[in-house]
């Protein structure tokens, strides 16, 4: 028997469902308006109160809806599950030749500073926490982390923490990624040495680590129980005592069966590679143990880790031989001088997946086998050895570097096959290569950087290089190349860095150089270029450094300088030029004479600037318009034939730190306005025809008080102690005169005076004695009159 619902009951049921739906929507709307739970919002605000935020990254942390705050993510139930405050712009650094750190950027710091508030660890639902690359001022790793048992991602890397890891992390058994690194790799040229006589560089290493905190661990037992861990990064964590005191120090790692990435770089690990423990890591894909003290051969058992694709053992004091590891995609073994690598044996078996091979500064046995050209996946190859012709045939080779490896002989004529569209960076610098530059290099049409400097190449530069239209950096310095200025360069419109220093080029500098609008550095130093400097050079809007020194140039300096826009304003950024030239650092070698010394700059920033026209035969006046170059750091016009006065407009060059106008024919006074150049730390005006007083000022007086800046200016006068410098009685400044010479001159002067008085006295009295008595009376009357006059004058004073 069926029953039929009345229309009334259906209407009531429908109203109930609609009412329930509205209630749900109202609750949802209310929740959205209020955001996260009050206790979690209060905890986050308390966490914020312990921090300073120079870049206002936490400016959105206000109001009730904390789920909408920057760096915060909530679950469907409005619980905070993600806090990600990683510094978005961590500073980049490079270590210079004097081991000082230079920042690759000059942007405002975005690091959060302070300490981590305990209130953060009341967020019991949090699963993702990233506080990396901030500054927690060497505070300890918080013990409250143990409360966050739901964490699957924890990144405290490079956050300026200082602590020893014991049990702070023991409860975090759900972790899949753990990053406690307190160091990161930077480009390092601190081991680059150079000789000012030979101008040869020697590069031993290309990277090092910089510490961002101080974290250590006596053992790794705290890793036990983290069976879900897939990524473990401990670079820079001090494990030296663990590896020294414990035979099986890596045993806790062997239990991490799901591990894919293991980074133990720069940990102070000594002894052997713990291969027995690593063999249990059957899913391991990346292993980094670079910059340690392993002092052992590479274990042959590594071949059994078939899942391994990236192995980095750079600068780890390895020794012995290396066997085949054909499953690898990337292999880094550089800077291990005691490691022997037999390339013929190594590539006796195929390496079908190899993309990057870095074996510089190792003991390579034999030459590179021609079979390496069959590795079509190889894109980056850095190795010391002879250059086989087939190396240029790598189908995907992009970065080839053989710099500083004692290579001898010519570049193979067929080095770069036709229509090579892959090679972007070729560095063969600082070797003993000779012969002519092969025209086949023009086939490498994707070249961004070509460095053949510091070799013994002869002949002309092949015109075929004009087809490498993407070239940004062309370094051919310190060879024996000759001929006129290469005309094909007019086609390289992307060129930013041109270095032809120390060759045998002749003829005039062409006018088309002014059309290379991307040119930043042009170095033609120490050649035999002649005639005048083309006025078109002033159209280079981006140029930072012009070095035409030590040539045979004549005529005046171009006077319309307003086109040098980059030199008119001191740049605010602080970017390394190598990164400007290309997306990858290609290296820029620049020799710059500044402050009376030759400087080898392996690091060139966008603020590096200078004009060096010294040691030529330039004539005429120094352009008055030079004063508009406010961003110029160095100006060297010495050893020319310039005349006229020093322009007073130089005082407007507020960025000038080095000024050399010595060995010219400049005349007139030194402008008083020069005393306003607060950054000026080197001044040389010696051997000119300057006259008048040397200006004085609080800063200016500190510049070469010994007078070496003014030697050879006969009519310059100074105001040393006890001397007067005016139009009637000038004390001419001669700093070359030694104290002994002054003493001899004074002795000679007093001797002449004594002789003069003696001759005058006896001559006078002798003649009076022979004359009559009335002459005596006249003489004494004259003496009385002079005495009375002297007394009257003294009384007036």
Tell me which residue of 643, 693, 638, 647 sits closest to 674, measured CA to CA.
647
φ and ψ of 473, to 5 deg: -135, 120
Partners of 545 in beta bridges: 521, 610
Q: Is residue 103 part of a domain?
A: yes
- Has residue 237 got a pLDDT over 50? yes
- From 185, 207, 235, the end of a domain falls on 185
Kind of pairing between the strands at 93-95 and 101-103: antiparallel
Instruction: For residues 369 and 377, give the distance between their C-alpha atoms in angstroms, rounded to a whole number.
Output: 16
Q: How many angstroms separate the Cα of 768 from the Cα of each of 225, 734, 790?
A: 125, 45, 24
Report the percentage of the chain scoring pLDDT > 90: 44
Q: Is residue 41 part of a domain?
A: yes
Q: Worst-scoring range by mean pLDDT, 50-54, 306-310, 781-785?
A: 781-785
Specify the higher pLDDT residue, 245 or 768. 245
What SS3 class is residue 323?
coil
What's the predicted TM-score (pTM) here?
A: 0.60
Kind of pairing between the strands at 113-114 and 51-52: antiparallel
Tell me which residue of 696, 693, 527, 700 sits closest to 615, measured CA to CA.
527
Instruction: For residues 600 and 590, give the distance between their C-alpha atoms in angstroms, rounded to a whole number.
Output: 6
The per-residue pLDDT for range 525-534, each reduced to its tens digit, is 999 999 999 9
What SS3 class is residue 700?
helix
Q: Is residue 55 part of a domain?
A: yes
Instruction: For residues 93 and 186, give the distance between their C-alpha atoms in angstroms, rounded to a whole number.
Output: 6
Instruction: For residues 262 and 719, give the distance between their C-alpha atoms in angstroms, rounded to a whole number.
Output: 71
Q: Is residue 250 part of a domain?
A: no
Specify the higher pLDDT residue, 738 or 412. 412
Q: Worst-scoring range by mean pLDDT, 225-234, 395-404, 693-702, 770-779?
A: 770-779
What SS3 class is residue 496?
coil
Q: Is residue 75 part of a domain?
A: yes
Provide mean pLDDT across the span 180-205: 43
Instruction: For residues 237 and 249, give the distance between their C-alpha atoms in angstroms, rounded to a whole number.
Output: 14
Q: How confident is the model at residue 348 (pLDDT cuts 50, 70, 90)?
A: confident
The per-residue pLDDT for range 102-151, each reduced to its tens digit, is 444 444 678 899 999 999 999 999 999 999 999 898 899 999 999 999 99
Instruction: Give the domain CATH number at 100.
Output: 3.80.10.10
- Has residue 579 got a pLDDT over 50? no
In a 10 Å sphere around its CB, with 0-12 CB exposed, 13-18 middle and 19+ buried, how is residue 653 labelled? buried
Question: Residue 306 in contact with residue 329, Cβ under 8 Å?
Answer: no
CA geometry: angle 488, 494, 499, nearest 5 deg: 65
pLDDT, position 296 = 82
CA dihedral sign of residues 61, 67, 73, 79: positive
Specify the higher pLDDT residue, 381 or 51. 51
Q: How confident is the model at residue 423 (pLDDT cuts 50, 70, 90)?
A: confident
Range of the domain at 781: 752-788
- From 160, 185, 210, the end of a domain falls on 185
Q: What mean pLDDT is reported for the chain? A: 78
- Has residue 215 got a pLDDT over 70? yes
Q: How many helices (H) and strands (E) does the chain have?
A: 10, 50
Question: Domains in the chain: how many in total?
Answer: 2
Tell me which residue of 686, 665, 692, 684 sits closest to 736, measured CA to CA.
686
Kind of pairing between the strands at 72-74 and 113-114: unpaired
Q: CB neighbours of 31 closer than 8 A, spacing ≥ 6?
A: 78
Q: Is residue 409 part of a domain?
A: no
Q: Is residue 523 part of a domain?
A: no
Question: Residue 310 in contact with residue 284, Cβ under 8 Å?
Answer: no
Q: Is residue 96 part of a domain?
A: yes
Specify the higher pLDDT residue, 193 or 276. 276
- From 155, 185, 215, the end of a domain falls on 185
């Amino acid at each position: 028997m069926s029953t039929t619902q009345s229309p009334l009951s259906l209407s009531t049921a429908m109203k109930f469902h609609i009412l329930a739906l509205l209630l749900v929507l109202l609750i949802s709307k209310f929740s959205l308006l209020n955001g996260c739970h009050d206790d979690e919002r209060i905890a986050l605000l308390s966490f914020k109160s312990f921090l300073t935020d120079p870049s206002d990254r936490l400016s959105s942390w206000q109001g009730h809806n904390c789920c909408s705050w920057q760096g915060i993510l909530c679950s469907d139930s409005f619980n905070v599950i993600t806090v990600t405050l990683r510094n978005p712009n961590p500073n980049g650094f490079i270590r210079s030749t004097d081991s000082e750190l230079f920042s690759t950027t000059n942007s405002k710091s975005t690091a959060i500073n302070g300490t981590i508030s305990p209130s953060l660890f009341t967020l019991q639902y949090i699963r993702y926490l990233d506080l990396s690359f901030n500054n927690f001022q060497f505070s300890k790793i918080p013990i409250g982390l143990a409360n966050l048992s739901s964490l699957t991602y924890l990144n405290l890397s490079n956050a300026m923490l200082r602590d020893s890891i014991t049990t702070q992390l023991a409860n975090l058994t759900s972790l899949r990624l753990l990053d406690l690194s307190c160091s990161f790799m930077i480009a390092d040229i601190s081991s680059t040495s150079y000789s000012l006589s030979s101008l040869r560089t020697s590069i031993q290493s290309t990277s090092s680590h910089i510490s961002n905190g101080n974290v250590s661990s006596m053992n790794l037992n705290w890793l036990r129980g983290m069976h879900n861990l897939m990524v473990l990064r401990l670079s820079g964590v001090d494990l030296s005592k663990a590896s020294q005191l414990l035979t099986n120090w890596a045993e806790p790692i062997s239990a991490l069966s799901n591990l894919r990435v293991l980074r133990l770089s720069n940990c102070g690990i000594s002894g052997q590679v713990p291969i027995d423990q690593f063999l249990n890591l059957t899913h391991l894909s990346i292993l980094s143990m670079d910059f340690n003290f392993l002092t052992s051969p590479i274990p042959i058992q590594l071949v059994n880790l078939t899942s391994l694709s990236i192995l980095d053992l750079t600068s780890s004091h390895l020794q012995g031989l290396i066997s085949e590891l054909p499953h690898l995609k990337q292999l880094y073994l550089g800077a291990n001088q005691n490691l022997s690598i037999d390339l013929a044996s190594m590539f006796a078996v195929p390496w079908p997946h190899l993309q990057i091979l870095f074996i510089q500064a190792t003991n390579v046995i034999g030459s590179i086998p021609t079979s390496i050209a069959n590795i079509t996946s190889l894109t980056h190859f850095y190795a010391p050895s002879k250059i086989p012709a087939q190396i240029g045939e790598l189908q995907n080779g992009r970065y080839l570097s053989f710099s500083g490896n004692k290579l001898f002989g010519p570049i193979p004529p067929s080095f770069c096959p036709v229509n090579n569209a892959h090679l972007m960076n070729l560095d063969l610098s600082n070797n003993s290569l000779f012969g002519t530059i092969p025209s086949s290099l023009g086939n490498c049409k994707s070249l961004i950087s070509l460095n053949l400097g510091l070799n013994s190449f002869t002949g002309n530069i092949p015109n075929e290089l004009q087809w490498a239209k993407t070239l940004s950096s062309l370094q051919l310095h310190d060879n024996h190349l000759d001929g006129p200025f290469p005309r094909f360069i007019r086609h390289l419109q992307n060129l930013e860095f041109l270095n032809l220093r120390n060759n045998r080029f002749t003829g005039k500098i062409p006018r088309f150089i002014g059309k290379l609008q991307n040119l930043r550095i042009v170095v033609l130093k120490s050649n035999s270029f002649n005639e005048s400097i083309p006025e078109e050079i002033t159209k280079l809007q981006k140029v930072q450094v012009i070095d035409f020194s030590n040539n045979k140039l004549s005529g005046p300096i171009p006077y319309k300088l307003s086109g040098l826009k980059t030199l008119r304003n001191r740049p605010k950024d602080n970017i390394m030029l190598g990164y400007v030239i290309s997306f990858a650092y290609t290296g820029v070698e620049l020799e710059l004479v500044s402050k009376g010394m030759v400087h080898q700059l392996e690091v060139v920033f966008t603020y590096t600037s200078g004009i060096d026209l010294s040691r030529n035969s330039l004539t005429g006046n120094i352009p008055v318009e030079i004063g508009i170059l406010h961003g110029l750091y160095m100006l060297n016009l010495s050893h020319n034939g310039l005349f006229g006065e020093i322009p007073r407009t130089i005082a407007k060059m507020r960025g000038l730190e080095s000024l050399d106008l010595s060995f010219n024919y400049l005349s007139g006074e030194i402008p008083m306005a020069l005393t306003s150049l607060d950054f000026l730390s080197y001044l040389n005006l010696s051997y000119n025809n300057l006259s008048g007083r040397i200006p004085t000022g609080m800063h200016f007086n500190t510049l070469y008080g010994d007078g070496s800046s003014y030697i050879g200016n006969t009519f310059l006068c100074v105001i040393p102690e006890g001397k007067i410098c005016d139009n009637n009685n000038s004390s001419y400044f001669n700093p070359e005169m030694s104290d002994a010479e002054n003493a001899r001159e004074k002795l000679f002067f007093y001797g002449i005076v004594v002789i003069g008085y003696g001759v005058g006295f006896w001559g006078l009295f002798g003649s009076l004695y022979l004359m009559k008595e009335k002459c005596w009376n006249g003489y004494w009357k004259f003496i009385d009159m002079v005495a009375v006059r002297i007394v009257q004058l003294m009384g007036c004073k």
